[in-house]
Amino acid sequence: MQRLGVRTGAPATALARVGKYTLVRGVALFFTVVVGVYLTILVANMGGYVDQIRRASIWEMVAVGVAANPELQELSPAERRRLIEQQVKILEERMGLDRPFAVRSFMYLKNALTLDLGRAEQLTSDSGSRQVRLILLERLAPTLLLFATAQLLLFFVSVFVALFLSRRYGSTLDRAIVALAPTSAAPAWFYGVFLILIFAAALRVLPFGGMVAAPPPRELLQYALSVLRHLILPVTAIVVSAIFLTIYYWRTFFLIYSSEDYVEMAKAKGLPSSAIERRYILRPTLPTIITSFALTLITLWTGAIVLETIFNWPGLGRLLFRAIGLTDTPVIVGSVVIYAYLLAVTVFVLDIVYALVDPRVKVGAESPRS
């Protein structure tokens, strides 16, 4: 890790630099979000091709409707065709399909960026609403429940175990963790399959999937217990798939910091190890820990498509997968835009916190020279 000289300057210019830096970063990040969301809109619409599918399905729907209507049986084919065309035109206008895609894509972009998420085309929320906002909100709770439980557990357990290990470098436990780190090459859903096989299929002690028993228990306590039982396997899958690698990374990270001269100095002074940990290892590494924690929090939002599919968990990941399968563009764009905003805001806040906290980060300077 390279050490950059600490710059000293008058506080006023520093503040001005931070202000300018903040502004530049803010604009850059917003631009990034705009481009990212626009690209998503293009992909999700297949560059306009989805419109043709929509037109065809509108045409088919209207044609079937007209053919099935006994009152219209008398019409001649030409008249019937005119009627169909008329109805199709009304429907297309209602969906805005009469305008070219290039124009509409920017309207989609504006709506997405102003968080006017609009209405879904196929999907509905459990209460029957077509509002993308409501659909997403409904799925947010299960996703947050699952991923917050798993990620918080993962984060705190790994940081504390790593801190513990960094003091016992080379012990059996330490070597075991290092040896187990490669197991994280497999994603969480993969461990999920194994866990289902063992605990649901073979031993029959835990449910195969879902979030709550069917039918859901009436009593609140029973309901909570049932949800808890359904949480065990997916949470275990997420934790197992990442824990060893995460501990390994944090351990190496802490080891690098604990070999610094000032830590040796503290040891030589005879400070207790808990004080060394707190004051000399945790404090300088805090920015990194905070960053990692913040980024962990954003990933909660996306959920995990395959894990939720495997465990039949009614979360955002599975919603996104279904939305893609049905080419329900508003839902896709809605979940991507929220993710992009969250990511951008987090990065922005982190940038500022860094600029203020860490003197080694040079604010506003041109490309750093080492």
Listed residue (332, 308, 355, 294) closest to 152, CA to CA: 294
Chain position carrying tokens 């997403």: 136
Per-residue interface string for the shown chain with other proteins, residues 191-210, x marking contact by CB under 8 A: --xx-xx--xxx-----x--
| Residue 172 binds other proteins, judged by CB under 8 A | no
Peptide bond into 215 cis (omega under 30): yes
State how far the Cα of 206 lies from the Cα of 215, in Å rounded to an integer: 16
Q: Which of residues 29-68 bind other proteins (CB under 8 A)?
A: 29, 31-33, 35-37, 39-40, 43-44, 46, 49-50
Count other Cβ atoms within 10 Å, centred on residue 283: 11
Listed residue (283, 305, 272, 292) closest to 189, CA to CA: 305
| Residue 367 binds other proteins, judged by CB under 8 A | yes
Minimum separation from the CB atom of position 17 to other proteins (A): 19
Per-residue interface string for the shown chain with other proteins, residues 264-303, x marking contact by CB under 8 A: --------------------------------------x-
| Residue 78 binds other proteins, judged by CB under 8 A | no
| Residue 340 binds other proteins, judged by CB under 8 A | yes
Instruction: Please count the residues of the chain.
Output: 370
Minimum separation from the CB atom of position 221 to other proteins (A): 29
Q: At what angle do helices 329-357 and 101-113 cross, to 10 degrees?
A: 50
Distances (CA, A) of 233 to 65, 153, 183, 313: 47, 14, 18, 11
Distances (CA, A) of 166 to 141, 162, 289, 290: 36, 6, 15, 19
**Residue 187 and residue 306 in contact, taking contact as beta carbons nearer than 8 Å:** yes
Minimum separation from the CB atom of position 61 to other proteins (A): 21
Minimum separation from the CB atom of position 336 to other proteins (A): 6
Per-residue interface string for the shown chain with other proteins, residues 229-268, x marking contact by CB under 8 A: -----------------------x--xx--x---------
Count other Cβ atoms within 10 Å, centred on residue 161: 18
Which residues of the shown chain bind other proteins in the complex (CB under 8 A)?
2, 28-29, 31-33, 35-37, 39-40, 43-44, 46, 49-50, 169, 178-179, 181-187, 189-190, 193-194, 196-197, 200-202, 208, 252, 255-256, 259, 302, 305-306, 309-310, 320-321, 324-325, 327, 332, 336, 339-340, 343-344, 367-370
